[in-house]
Amino acid sequence: MTEAPTPLWEVFVRSRNGLAHKHAGSVHAADAQMALQAARDVYTRRGEGLSVWVVPSNAITASDPADREMLFEPTGSKIYRHPTFYEVPDEVGHM
């Protein structure tokens, strides 16, 4: 008798209001409700969370590691895209 493997879920935790949910890791669970419980039990033990999302891992479409050079390397030479060329007057203080 073969058993179906327990589905994998990606876990996203939001630690504070106003912040985005951040990828925390993954859990195995039979369904969405159990995945939420497992995510709470595994990834929010130290007060990390106010909100948890779980997403079936197979619902995520990922970029191909082989495309890395094509996709990401060209941006390395576009330093003008970083907002580091402005003179900020002293009176502005911390932005």
Partner 1 sequence: MSVTTTSIAVDETPLVLHLLRRADDALILGHRLSEWTGNAPTLEEDLALANIALDLIGQSRALFDYAGSLCGLDEDQLAYRRDARQYRNLLITEQLNGDFACTIARQFLYSAFIDPYWREAMSSSDATIAAIAAKAEKETAYHLRHASEWLIRLGDGTGESHRRAQAGLEELWPFTGEFFEVDAPDQSLIDAGTIPDPAELHDGWSSRINTILARATLTRPKDSWMQTGGRTGRHSEHLGHILAELQYLQRSHPGAKW
- Residues contributing to the site for partner 1 (CB under 8 A): 6, 27-31, 33-34, 37-38, 41-42, 45
Locate 6 and state its tokens.
């327990």
Q: Which residues contact 6 (CB under 8 A, 6 or more apart)?
A: 28, 29, 30
| Cβ at position 23, least distance to partner 1 in Å | 17
| Cβ at position 27, least distance to partner 1 in Å | 5
- Give the Cα separation of 91 and 4 in Å (integer): 64
DSSP, res 19:
S
| Cβ at position 58, least distance to partner 1 in Å | 18
Closest to partner 1 by CB, 31 or 70: 31
